[in-house]
Chain A
Amino acid sequence: MSADGLVGNLTLAVGHERAVELDDSVLWSRARSGDSEAFGMLFERHGRTIYNYCFRRVGSWAVAEDLVSVVFLEAWRRVDKELPNGKELPWLLGIATNVVRNRRRSERRYAAALRRVSQPGSEPSFADDSDERIDDEELMGRALALLARLPRREQEVFALCAWSELSYEDAAIALGIPVGTVRSRLSRARARLQELDPGIGHEEDRMQAIKEAVER
């Protein structure tokens, strides 16, 4: 492992230790009073979720990485906001949804900041799992191609509930819509996907069948 990686791991470990002690709402209220370290801890805690959510919306790990930065920069811009206790992550996912929706605008807004972090020489180097990541992008591209045939609102609900496994209540907070609307959009999305590809929804059955056949 490179020296950089080692330092990164240490930072991560130390940060993690500190972060587990405080819950999100404490960190958020500290961030609101200007404590950037507290905000940094929120980043460590939820960066991964946002990263994976962004990947599942755009289909590229490299883009997702930039979007994580954008999401948190955007969150800082709105750091005055008072959030319901424990709903910091859904709120961040809501910001991520907006960032993805207005991706070009977001990237433009933070272009200077992104340039500063993406200096030459800091290209993503995933070393061990780069092959898997390429496969991921292929697979995600296929899923997104199908999802793209849904109205945007349904795509967003579907990505939050089905792909990021958010509860209806949390998805409602993320999107700023009533819980009933989340339910109805999700069921419409499922029905439409089913129509587009009748195999959808039975993937797990299929996988199970394959597993059983192999084990036998």
Chain B
Amino acid sequence: MTRDFPIPPLRDLPPNRLAQRREHLLLEIAQPPSRWPLPRRGLLALVAAALIVVVGTASAIGSVRAFFFTPGVNSQIAYIHNPRAQQKGDKELWVMKADGSEGRRVSRIASWGHPAWSPDGKKIAFVRGYRAIYSVNADGSGQRRLARDAGLPAWSPDGRKIAFMKGFGRQAAIYVMNADGSGQRRLARNALFDFVPPAWSPDGREIAYRSERDGNSEIYVMNADGSEQRNLTRNAAFDLAPAWSPDGQKIAFGSDRDGNSEIYVMNADGSDQRNLTQKLEINHSHAWSPDGRKIAFLHGCCLSAKLYVMNADGSGQRYLNEARPSQDPGGLLGWSPDGRKIAFGGHAEIYVINADGSGLQRLTRTPTANYAPAWSPGQKK
């Protein structure tokens, strides 16, 4: 039977390991049944949930105070927590301090996808299923539904509007609304569902997104009112996930035009398209550092994903750590506002690492999954 696509050959467990595993197996099964683990997931989950609630509530009081009254930098990370072992059901939106302390639940009805901080750091937009966009204050108050049948919210740089996706497949379109959900308006038809939200240019005048209206997936840019839509990539390959550099001069994007998934960069008018990651195969989830000098990205997929950083011209690629964003669908990396750290999902927990690869820290520690870290915007000093 054909293998359909290339996979590695069969390998043996090294003989000493095989023997060791066998010995271990025989030792374990020789234990009396009372030492055997029983399926007691329900009880464990209950205890864990109770602990989380207690700890969460106690720390919420402190952190709300800290949030409003501590001067200086209130750097926080929002993330999605799955309260269950299985993947079905609502997830929760949590916020913690950037050192992992004072975690608190701010919503019980979140879902896949990155939480999106408003530029002033006061609100978080998030998605429930691909059914609705909600916003909530960072302290958990004032939750409201902004749009139905919608996903992938992106705040405009001035925080007054939210661009988002509505509908599936060829019906998918990019919409914009006011931050309170009013004034919803379609900007572009034939957009395609992407792993990342539509991307506002830093000056808020343009929006980049992906569309298949010319037959295959391309990067488009339009004015923020939907006028002057233009195809920047014009390529037979699959282009996706546009991300503006902080100075608005360049757009990084993913493309498989050389046969595998790579990170490209182009000028904001579509000129000078260059592959930044030629040396490594399969790269994605690019994220500009706040000063625009570096790009963090993931190399490899799924369980073998690794976190890398490179200079914005593709030079100086540097391996930082395993990432393994097992349940995280994409757009996974968050730079701290000061550009010194990167938050990422790994082994279903949230980690932070210095951009030079030092100081790896695990921020979450729960029996079930945590993913999609999003760093709150910097506080102006």
Verify that A and B bind, or say they do not.
yes
Q: Is the CB of A104 within 8 A of B36?
A: no
13 A-B pairs within 8 Å (CB atoms) are namely: A2-B16, A5-B15, A7-B19, A11-B19, A11-B22, A52-B11, A69-B25, A102-B85, A127-B14, A136-B11, A139-B8, A140-B304, A203-B2
Q: Determine whether the beta carbon of B304 is less than 8 Å from that of A65.
A: no
Contact B300 A61 (CB under 8 A): no
Interface residue? B18 (CB, 8 A): yes
CA distance A203 to B5 in the complex (A): 6
CB nearest to B85 among chain A residues: A105
Chain B residues, Cβ within 8 Å of A136: 8-9, 11
- Within the complex, the shortest CB–CB distance from B227 to chain A, in Å, comes to 34
Contact for B369 among A104, A126, A138, CB less than 8 A: A104
Which residues does A use to contact B, with CB under 8 Å?
Answer: 2, 4-5, 7-9, 11-12, 15, 36-37, 39-40, 43-44, 47-48, 51-52, 55-56, 58-61, 63, 65, 68-69, 72-73, 76-77, 102, 104-105, 108-110, 112-113, 116-117, 122, 124-127, 129, 133, 135-146, 148, 158, 161-163, 165, 190, 193, 197, 199-201, 203-204
Whether B14 contacts A124 by the Cβ 8 Å rule is: yes
B25 touches A201 (CB 8 A): no
Chain B neighbourhood of A197, CB < 8 A:
5
Of the listed residues B4, B15, B18, B39, the one surrounded by the most CB atoms of chain A closer than 10 A to its CB is B4
Q: Which residues of A contact B185 (CB under 8 A)?
A: none
For B35, give the chain A residue with the smallest CB separation: A112
Closest A residue to B367 by CB, please name it.
A108
Q: Determine whether B43 belongs to the interface, using a CB cutoff of 8 Å to chain A.
A: no
Verify B21–A65 contact, CB threshold 8 A: yes
Residue of A nearest to B348 (CB): A104
Contact B14 A59 (CB under 8 A): no
A204 to B10, CA, bound (A): 17
* Contact across chains for B25 and A144 when beta carbons are under 8 A apart: no
B359 at the interface (CB under 8 A from A): no
B62-89: contact bitstring with A at CB < 8 Å (1 yes, 0 no)? 0000000000000000000000010000
Partner of B28, one of A12, A15, A48, A73: A73
In chain B, what residue has the closest Cβ to A197?
B5
Are B6's CB and A143's CB within 8 A?
Answer: yes
What residues of chain A lie closer than 8 Å to B7, measured between beta carbons? 56, 139-140, 143, 163
Indicate if the CB atoms of B28 and A113 lie closer than 8 Å.
yes
> What is the chain B residue whose CB lies nearest that of A34?
B29
Chain A nearest CB: distance from B311 CB in Å?
Answer: 24
- B281 touches A (CB below 8 Å): yes
Let me know if B8 and A40 touch, CB within 8 A: no
Tell me whether B29 and A36 are in contact (CB under 8 A).
Answer: yes
B303 within 8 A of A: yes
Contacts of A165 in B (CB 8 A): 1
Query: In the bound complex, do residue B18 and residue A142 qualify as a contact, i.e. CB atoms below 8 Å apart?
Result: no
Contact in complex: A43, B305 (CB < 8 Å)? no
| Docked CA distance A199–B18 (Å) | 37
Q: Which residues of B contact A102 (CB under 8 A)?
A: 85
Closest 10 CB pairs of A and B: A8-B16, A145-B301, A136-B8, A141-B304, A8-B19, A117-B24, A8-B15, A59-B303, A11-B19, A5-B16
Number of A-B contacts defined by CB within 8 Å? 172
User: A11 — which chain B residues lie within 8 A by C-beta?
Assistant: 19, 22
Report the minimal beta-carbon distance from B305 to chain A, rounded to whole angstroms. 7
Cross-chain contact A48 with B1 (CB below 8 angstroms): no
Task: Say whether, besides A8-B18, A146-B5, A133 and B11 are in contact (CB < 8 Å).
Answer: yes
Residue numbers in B under 8 Å from A56 (CB-CB): 7
Q: Given that A69-B21, A117-B20 are contacting pairs, would A201 and B282 also be in contact in the complex, using a CB cutoff of 8 Å?
A: no
Bound together, the chains give a CA A127 to CA B289 distance in angstroms of 38
**B contact patch SS:** loop
| Given known contacts A12-B18, A65-B21, A144 and B302 CB-to-CB distance under 8 angstroms | yes
CB atoms of A58 and B8 under 8 A apart: no
Q: Could you tell me the distance in whole angstroms from the C-beta of B39 to the nearest C-beta in chain A? A: 7
Distance A43 CA – B27 CA, assembled complex (angstroms):
13
Q: Shortest distance in angstroms between A127's beta carbon and chain B's nearest beta carbon?
A: 7
Residues of B within 8 A of A141 (CB): 282, 300-305
Across the interface, B282 reaches (CB within 8 A) one of A36, A44, A135, A142, namely A142
Q: Is B37 engaged at the interface, CB distance under 8 Å to the other chain? A: yes
A148 to B326, CA, bound (A): 11
| Min C-beta distance of B337 to chain A, whole Å | 31
Judging by beta carbons under 8 Å apart, are A126 and B14 in contact?
A: yes
Contact B6 A40 (CB under 8 A): no
Inter-subunit contact B18/A36 (CB<8 Å): no
Q: Is B41 an interface residue (CB 8 A)?
A: yes
Decide if A69 touches B24 in the complex (CB within 8 Å): yes
Known interface pairs A43-B22, A104-B369, A122-B20; A51-B13 also in contact (CB < 8 Å):
yes
By the criterion CB–CB under 8 Å, are B17 and A65 in contact? Answer: yes
Task: For A104, list chain B residues within 8 Å (CB).
Answer: 85, 348, 368-369
The answer on a CB contact under 8 Å between B5 and A61 is no
Residue of B nearest to A127 (CB): B14
**C-alpha gap A139/B41 in the complex (Å):** 35
CB distance from B354 to the nearest CB of A (A): 25
- Which residue of chain A has its CB nearest to the CB of B9? A136
In the complex where A8-B18, A40-B22, A40-B26 touch, is A144 in contact with B303 (Cβ < 8 A)?
Answer: yes
Give complex CA distance A143, B10 in Å: 15
Query: By the criterion CB–CB under 8 Å, are B304 and A163 in contact?
Result: no
